[in-house]
Amino acid sequence: MPSKERHTQGPERETAADAQMRRDCAQFALAERAASFGYWRQDLRTLETTWSPGMYALLGVTPEDQHADNRWLREQIHEADRDTADRAIIDAIQAKSAFYFRSRAASPDAISQVMDTHGQVELDPSGEVIAILGVCSNVTKQVTAEAERVRAENRYRLMAEGASDAIILYAPGGRILFASSALERITGRRIDEIEERKFLRLVHPEDIAEAEKVRVRPAPNTVLTATYRLRHRDGHHVWLEVTTRGTYDDATGDYRNTIAVLRDISDRKAHELELQAARERAEAANRAKSVFLANMSHELRTPLNAIIGFADMMKQEMFGPLGSPRYGEYSGLIRDSGQLLLDLISDLLDMAKIEAGKSKLALETLDLRNTVRDCLRLIEARATANRVKIQTEIPDEPLRIMADRRAMKQVLLNLLSNAVKFTVGGGQVHISAAQDDGKLMLCVRDNGIGIPAADLPRLGRPFEQVCADPMLSKAGTGLGLALVRALVERHGGTFVIESEVGRGTAVTVTLPPRPPVRAAA
C-alpha cells in the first residue's frame, strides 16, 4: 500500500511541479523579451550548449536551427572583437572568476548590433570548472544613444571652445561642471579660482552689488544680466557682461543647472566712458558759456541803450541843430544799427538764460488778443517797407490763458518777423488764433520762399539757419525759432513747422490753459 500510495501521489506532485516550472519559464521568457536579454550555458565536459528562449530571440534564430550553438555564436561576433571575447572567457576559466566583454555583430543585418556579455564559471564539488554561463544583453540602442550624446557633446564643446565668449555650467551648489577655454583667455583665471563665492574676491569693490545680481538662481524662462569688473591675473580689471539662465527638468520642473555666458566688453566700455567724458566736458563748457552770457546781460545792454538813446536825441536835435543834414542821417543809422544789435544780443542772452536754467516765467492771466495787437503795431512798419500785407483772423471773445506776458510777445514777434522777412514784396502773412477746451492755437502763415523739407528738422535749434551762405541768408542769429520753441515748451505747449519751397511756411503753436507747475520755477 505504501508503495502504491507513493505511486499514485508521485505523478500528482510531478504535475504540479511541472506546471509551476512552466509558469516560471513563461515569466522568465517574458522578462527576457522585455529586457532584451538571454542566457546560455556550455558544459565543458560534454560541450553541450543550452540557450534560453531570449537568447534565440536576440540572435534571430529558433531552437530548430541545428547550427545555433556557441561555435556558431562566436562566428556572429565581429572579427575584431573575437579575440577579446575568447581572452575574457579563457581568463575566467583559469582564474575561476566572472567575466565581461562587449562585442559587435559581424553582420550589419543582425538584430543585436552591439551585445554585452556578463558571465561566470560553474564549479563541481572539487572546485573544477565544469561549465561556462553567460547572460547576453542587446545594448545597441544604449550604445547608439551614448555615441550620439558623445558626438553632440563634442560638437557643443567645439562650439564652446571656439566661441569668443566664455561659457560656464554650474551645479546647484555653485560648483563648475564645465567652462570653455575662453574663461582663462578672458580673465586669466582657472576654474578653481572663480567657482562658488571665490570670484567675488576678484570683483572690483564698486561692482560687488552688480555682480551679486547674477548669483541668485534664475527663475524659469528668465535671463539675468550684470556688468562688472573682474581683476585679471595680470592685475588689470576686465569689464564683463554676464548673463545667466537656469535649466529645469521638463517633466518635473525641478532646477538642474545654471548656464552663464561671460563676454569681455572692455573695449566697448572704454569707448562708452570716453564718449561720456567728452559729453560731460561739452556740457560743462556749454553750461559755462550759457552762465557767462546770462551774467553779461547788464554789461552788454547798458552801453547799447546809451548809444541808442543819445543817437535818438541827436536825430531829434533835442538840444539844437547838428549842422550838416548828413549828421541827422548818420545819427539815425547809429540808432537803427544799435537797436538791431540790441535785438540780436537780447535773443542771445534770452537763449543763454534758458539753457543755463536761469529763465523764470512771470505768470499772469493774459488776453492774447491784446498781445497780438501790440505785436502787429510793432511789425507794421517793417511789413509796409517790405510791401507785405498782414491779415488777421482773431475772434471777438477773449483768448485767456495763464502765461508770461514778455515771453508771449517774444513768441509772436519772432514768428511775425520771420514771416515778413522771408516773404517777397506783394506777398501776404496771415495770423490766426482760436481757443478750444482751454487750449490756445496760434498760427502764422506766409506765402514766402518756403523751406526745403531736408532743412525743417534743423529749425528750432539754436543758431540754425536754412541758408548758411552769408550772401543769401537774411540777417539774424538763427535764434528766433529756437527761442520760440524754448518759450513755448516752457509753457507746456507744442511748436510745429510746415513748409514747402516756393509756396510758404506755416508755424503753429499750441498752448495749454496754464503751464505745468515746474515752468514757473
Question: Is the pLDDT confidence value at 96 over 80?
Answer: yes
SS3 label, residue 107: coil
Which residues, at least 6 apart from 37, have a Cβ–Cβ distance to it below 8 Å?
54, 58, 135, 136, 137, 138
Dihedral of the alpha carbons of 229, 231, 237, 243, in degrees to the nearest 10: -30
Of 83-92, 147-156, 483-492, the one with minimum mean pLDDT is: 147-156
CA-based torsion, 190, 193, 196, 197: positive or negative: negative
- The yes-or-no verdict on residue 248 having pLDDT over 50 is yes
**Taking residues 384-393, what's their average pLDDT?**
90
The answer on pLDDT for 3 being more than 70 is: no
How far is the first Cα of the chain from the last one, in angstroms, to the nearest whole number? 129
pLDDT (tens digit, 9 = 90+) per residue, 138-164? Answer: 999 998 888 888 887 777 666 666 567
Contact 38, 57 (CB under 8 A): yes
Distances (CA, A) of 446 to 30, 375, 391, 416, 429: 99, 16, 10, 9, 4
Q: What is the pTM of this model?
A: 0.42
Q: What are the distances in angstroms from CA 138 to CA 84, 132, 366, 414? A: 18, 20, 97, 94
Question: Could you tell me the CA-to-CA distances from 97 to 49, 83, 378 in Å, in that order?
Answer: 20, 18, 119
451 secondary structure, DSSP code? -
Residues 6+ apart with CB under 8 A from 352: 289, 290, 291, 292, 293, 294
pLDDT of residue 4: 36
pLDDT of 463 over the 60 cut: no
Q: What percent of the chain has pLDDT over 70?
A: 84
pLDDT at 207: 93
What lies within 8 Å, CB to CB, of 206 at 6+ separation is: 229
- CA angle, 433 then 436 then 437, to 5°: 145
DSSP 8-state secondary structure symbol assigned to residue 323: S
- Binned at pLDDT 50, 70 and 90, residue 8 comes out as very low
Question: Residue 245 has what pLDDT?
Answer: 93
Question: How far apart (Å, rounded) are the C-alpha atoms in residues 128 and 133?
Answer: 15
User: For 182-236, how does the pLDDT look when each residue is reduced to its tens digit (9 = 90+)?
Assistant: 888 889 988 888 887 788 899 999 999 999 999 889 999 999 999 999 999 999 9
Closest Cα to residue 138, out of 37, 34, 53, 28? 37
Residue 298 confidence (pLDDT)? 62
Measured CA to CA, the distance from residue 491 to residue 402 in angstroms comes to 9
Residue closest to 40 by CA, chosen among 20, 61, 23, 14? 61
Separation CA 192–CA 199 (nearest Å): 9
